[in-house]
Structure 1
Amino acid sequence: MNARDLMTTDVKTVHEDDEISDVLTRLARADFNGFPVVDDDERVVGIVTQHDLVHIFQPSDRTLWIPVGFPPFLETLEYAIDLSWDELDTELDLLKHSNKPVRTVMTEDVVTVDPDTDFDRILDLLADDERDINRLPVVDERGGLLGIVARQDVLRAVRDERRAAEASAE
């Protein structure tokens, strides 16, 4: 079994120049959590996931410390107001990033496989402890997208193979 046997060929992609707001909208309607990113020649140039998109809205330290003095006290009290998840703050982040191209947030160092990559190599890549890879774009020699192998495809193949082995043993 190899990538060609496992891959899904009807792959939804986004273009590297697509606006982040459009990609967010498409991802919200999708039943998966990432897109391969392609250039004008349909070559894979990156991958964008929910994590990449949510990350741009993750607050850094946005706690506002407001000193308030109460006479006749000489010391001030400090009140911390957490602006991190304030609706306005999130909307401002969305406005700030929404018109940027997806290439500004995509992962450029995307791991790909060719159609003849064997099952064991695919397992090694998807089970890599250092990288959290959920999907492997299958590309031709020029980097053109042919399909995608997701973890779910591998699990389904293992399940089907076990069921077939059990059925033939009966």
Structure 2
Amino acid sequence: MELQAKDLMTTDVETVNPDDEVSHVLTRLAQAHFTGFPVVEEPETETETSGGYRARGELVGVVTQRDLVEIFQPSDRTLWIPVGLPPFLETVEYAIDLSWDELDTELDLAKHAGRPVREIMTEDVLTVTPDASLDDVLDVLAADERDVNRVPVVEDGQLVGIVTRQDVLLAIREERRGP
């Protein structure tokens, strides 16, 4: 049986609301073990999709570490440094800009902290459905034009899960090992 997104996805997805302030999202991101959140318009009451999945809300965008850095430091002055040292399995990206001094950074933080996430989120989100094949998920994760680490899984316009690169690697490893 071929693996599908529903076999790989995590259904307990942390999300943010489009009206959440940038400062709130930055705080949550600093405490998270990942680099972005799906942005959803949450339903008034808990609902299920036609496939029986718990709907987390309508997916309207994603906000990532990179989106947040971009509002504080223009991309032409930002240097992304991937750091991955044993025993860590994942790399951590640090963004630095040596041309900014502390006062500039503090003023910029204060200026943008109250902005709603809807103003900075990426609205054109690459997604898959629960029945998407492993190859479909890999196509999104390997897209050259975007650096996608997570693929939202959407059914009937509602976020029902998320598949990470780590999820795919673990599934491939288990499949190769056999029963």
Q: TM-score range by the shorter chain?
A: 0.7 to 0.9
Indicate whether 1:149 and 2:151 are aligned.
Answer: no
Match for 1:15 among 17, 24, 30? 17
Q: In structure 2, what is the equivalent of residue 73 of structure 1?
A: none
Q: In the alignment, residue 134 of structure 1 is paired with which amino acid?
A: N
2 CA distance for matches of 1:40 and 1:118?
A: 27
2 CA distance for matches of 1:49 and 1:117?
A: 24
Deviations 1:100-140 (A, max 9, x none): 00011110000111100111111111111122111111111
Query: Number of paired residues?
Result: 145
Contiguous gaps of at least 5 residues in structure 1: 63-81
1 CA distance for matches of 2:158 and 2:126?
A: 13
The change in CA–CA distance for 1:59 and 1:114 in structure 2 (over 3 A counts) is: closer
State the shift of 1:57 in Å.
1.1
2 CA distance for matches of 1:21 and 1:126?
A: 28
2 CA distance for matches of 1:59 and 1:107?
A: 16
Q: In structure 2, what is the equivalent of residue 70 of structure 1?
A: none
Q: Secondary structure at the match of 1:106?
A: coil
User: Structure 1: which 4+ aligned runs deviate by more than 6 Å?
Assistant: none
1 CA distance for matches of 2:164 and 2:27?
A: 22
1 CA distance for matches of 2:102 and 2:120?
A: 22
Q: In structure 2, what is the equivalent of residue 158 of structure 1?
A: 172
> Does the Cα contact within 8 Å between 1:4 and 1:116 map onto a contact in 2?
yes
Of structures 1 and 2, the larger Rg is shown by 1
Q: In structure 2, what is the equivalent of residue 34 of structure 1?
A: 36
2 CA distance for matches of 1:57 and 1:8?
A: 31
- 1:111-150 correspondence runs (5 A): 111-141=126-156, 143-150=157-164
- CA RMSD in angstroms comes to 1.9
The change in CA–CA distance for 1:59 and 1:130 in structure 2 (over 3 A counts) is: closer
Which region of structure 1 is more displaced relative to structure 2, 119-128 or 5-14?
119-128
Indicate whether 1:54 and 2:69 are aligned.
Answer: yes
Identity %: 68
State the shift of 1:59 in Å.
4.4
